Structure 1
Amino acid sequence: MEQQTPRTGQTGSDLPVEAPMKSLSQCKVAILMCTYNGQAYLKEQIDSLIAQTHQNWTLYISDDGSTDGTLALLKNYQELIDSQRIHLFSGPRAGFAENFMSLVRNSNIRADFYAFSDQDDIWFDNKLYRSIRHLEKLPSHLPALYCSRTRLIDEDRKITGFSPAFTKPPEFQNALIQSIAGANTMLLNNAARDLLRKVPDTTTIVAHDWLSYLLITACGGHVIYDLKPTLDYRQHSANVIGANSGLMERLSRVGKLIDGRFRSWSDYNLQTLEAVKNELTSANSQTLQNFRQGRLSPFIQRLRLMKRSGIYRQSVLGNISLIIAIFLNKI
């Protein structure tokens, strides 16, 4: 099942002439991976990259100061595969989001598409092929993002479930208050990457996957959310962010929406939107204005403006928590 958010305000006659389309096999993918003490599971992940049916990829790895055998393992793979297919960088040591953004901002990395990769997943062998197939026919001048559900596994690769299945449209009204998919499932085109690069490196980023979803929908780009998983997402004690799949995990997220942490996240996200404010569609500019003003308004006016903004979450429980957060002015 695929869902798209088309760019508004443009007709076929307005669109520039596209360059001849490349064949799928010609599409070059830059895989952007961040590592930190990932030796335990990293080999399985890299092996799953090597096994991809789409082989036109280069792996760019930013290591954030690993003290285990991560770097030695990566250098072994450089020798085993090809030093030109695996490039290593030193990360900024400012958290996972900034580490990924350091690769996004790296002007020496150029490709047709960009895939985020965690260090401890296992990609299905057709992950890149499926992702590219969804994006390659879209207009290249418009920002586009593909993402999907994940299959959950434990430390021993036993299947434990799936990430939530979201069925509501992936739109800006949703992106303002929710991130629907993990970065590890995402593929972006160059127009989407260019949007991310406009965010100043002094800006606090909540999460690079949420940032991607937020900016691309804000600027009228295409977002495709695939209900079919593309990888095994390993759950273990060292995960920075969980899968949000079980009831307790979802209740924990609801708690963050109500206890005030979410309001600070909204502050950061609104700051990032300033970097692309001139590229927002007119409808999304109005949505943003209502949302921003509603956060600062007295109770009755706040309810009116938030309703007018059209913001929503993907689940019934999520929307109940959203209403409570609006009542308590925690959004």
Structure 2
Amino acid sequence: MKDIFRLDSDPSAIAEHSIESKKVAILVCTYNGERFLREQLESFINQTHKNWSIHVSDDGSTDATLEILEEYKKQLGDEKIVILQGPRQGFAKNFLSLIKNREIVADYFAFSDQDDIWLEDKLSRSIAQIPQTPTSKPHLYCSRTKLVNTDLAPLGFSPLFKKRPCFENSLVQSIAGANTMMINNAARDLMCRIADDALVVAHDWLAYLLVTGCGGQVVFDQNPTLLYRQHEGNLIGANATYKNQVNRILKMLSGRFSEWSTQNLIVLNSIRMELTEDNRRTLERFEAARNSGLLSRLYLMKKSGVHRQTLKGNISLVAAAILNKI
């Protein structure tokens, strides 16, 4: 059974679904985000899909972020915007605190940054590409983005990945930013099983690992759904420019990537029995490769099927394997 649908066409070509009744919880983490927050909030309001609520976890902002949020809460009402205090333990933990908050009830959960601009059909497009009937199977939607500078001047696009998303890919690569993602309740339940004290590299990578690993479906939409600001305040920027790609390769070869892998593997092993049998086998081979001599390492890497999305990425992965930096 395929674990991915990659969509190249406009959603208007997809059979119409009754999506207007579907409730979306928009999960936003803020920290000193006053500079661009209004534009982000306005892009929520301008969505063609109107059945949404915004849940903001603020991690101790000292600028006007909270004042802006209260202003919009007064304008839209208490049911449309809920403001919470974040755990103040970093970006990933803040997002996970929202995902694990069971008082937030919805059909779908969309992740958002505090400084982007959503295209007006982002929610409707995302919902249309996730099964509408209740399902126990985890589903994750993600997409490309349009890269812009602080003044919204175009800079290009995030990478266009053409290989199908799968567990073998997720072990060594996160293919999309959290700001493009939407998950269903089954995927949320998976993320809620991760221990509060787990060392999470990034919540978007975590979602990709869990959904693919546990036999869910991932939709990678090749059409951008938001304007992704590139600026000095970004915690994690898009991996699109030549400079960023070089930095990624250097991190892989320096040993930083190996540290990320170790953290991801600890999380995956905590839910090992939730993984499909095939994916448990893949995980075992990848773990064995990391602890083997050179020839066995390369053999087990090939046997596992682990790969990145591009030729350059796979070359850097092989180099990292040779240097025992996986």
TM-score range, shorter chain: over 0.9
Show the counterpart of 1:228.
Answer: 223
* Matches of 1:278 and 1:6, distance apart in 2: 21
Aligned positions of 1:275-314 closer than 5 A: 275-314=270-309
Show the counterpart of 2:10.
Answer: none
Deviation string 1:190-230 (CA, Å, 9 cap, x unpaired) is: 00000000000110000000000001000010000011000
* Matches of 1:216 and 1:84, distance apart in 2: 30
Show the counterpart of 2:11.
Answer: none
Indicate whether 1:97 and 2:95 are aligned. Answer: no
* Matches of 2:112 and 2:190, distance apart in 1: 19
Show the counterpart of 1:17.
Answer: none
**Equivalent of 2:124 in 117, 120, 129:** 129
Show the counterpart of 1:54.
Answer: 49
Specify every segment of 5 or more residues in structure 1 that has no aligned partner in the other structure, as ranges.
Answer: 8-21
Show the counterpart of 1:239.
Answer: 234
**Equivalent of 1:254 in 249, 269, 272:** 249
CA RMSD of aligned residues (A): 1.4
* Matches of 1:35 and 1:137, distance apart in 2: 30
* Matches of 2:143 and 2:254, distance apart in 1: 29
Show the counterpart of 2:8.
Answer: none
Task: Give yes or no for contact 1:144–1:191 (8 Å, CA) kept in 2.
Answer: yes
Indicate whether 1:44 and 2:42 are aligned. Answer: no
Deviation string 1:287-326 (CA, Å, 9 cap, x unpaired) is: 0000001101111111111111000001111000000000
The Cα of 1:6 is off from its aligned counterpart by 5.2
Indicate whether 1:264 and 2:259 are aligned. Answer: yes
Q: Structure 1: which amino acid aligns with 2:158?
A: S
User: Per the alignment, do residues 138 and 151 of structure 1 end up closer, same or farther by CA in structure 2, a change over 3 Å counting?
Assistant: farther
The TM-score, its normalising length taken from structure 2, stands at 0.94
* Matches of 1:95 and 1:156, distance apart in 2: 27
Query: How many percent identity over aligned positions?
Result: 52
Specify every segment of 5 or more residues in structure 2 that has no aligned partner in the other structure, as ranges.
Answer: 6-16
Show the counterpart of 1:186.
Answer: 181
User: Per the alignment, do residues 109 and 52 of structure 1 end up closer, same or farther by CA in structure 2, a change over 3 Å counting?
Assistant: same
* Matches of 2:23 and 2:133, distance apart in 1: 16
Deviation string 1:62-116 (CA, Å, 9 cap, x unpaired) is: 0000000000000000001111110011111111111000001111111100000
The Cα of 1:139 is off from its aligned counterpart by 5.9
How many residue pairs end up in the alignment? 315
Indicate whether 1:113 and 2:111 are aligned. Answer: no
Indicate whether 1:209 and 2:207 are aligned. Answer: no
Runs of 4+ in 1 over 2 A off after TM superposition: 136-139
Task: Give yes or no for contact 1:36–1:64 (8 Å, CA) kept in 2.
Answer: yes
The Cα of 1:275 is off from its aligned counterpart by 2.7
Show the counterpart of 1:319.
Answer: 314
**Equivalent of 2:194 in 199, 203, 225:** 199
* Matches of 1:238 and 1:81, distance apart in 2: 28
Which piece of structure 1 moves more, 25-34 or 297-306?
A: 297-306
The Cα of 1:244 is off from its aligned counterpart by 1.0
* Matches of 1:149 and 1:264, distance apart in 2: 27
Task: Give yes or no for contact 1:6–1:220 (8 Å, CA) kept in 2.
Answer: no
Deviation string 1:164-208 (CA, Å, 9 cap, x unpaired) is: 100001000000000000000000000000000000011000000
Task: Give yes or no for contact 2:4–2:166 (8 Å, CA) kept in 1.
Answer: no
Task: Give yes or no for contact 1:24–1:136 (8 Å, CA) kept in 2.
Answer: no
Show the counterpart of 1:14.
Answer: none
SS in 2 for 1:228: coil
Task: Give yes or no for contact 2:19–2:132 (8 Å, CA) kept in 1.
Answer: no
Show the counterpart of 2:13.
Answer: none
Aligned positions of 1:149-160 closer than 5 A: 149-160=144-155
Show the counterpart of 1:13.
Answer: none
Indicate whether 1:5 and 2:6 are aligned. Answer: no
* Matches of 2:4 and 2:151, distance apart in 1: 41
The Cα of 1:236 is off from its aligned counterpart by 1.0
Q: Structure 2: which amino acid aligns with 1:55?
A: K
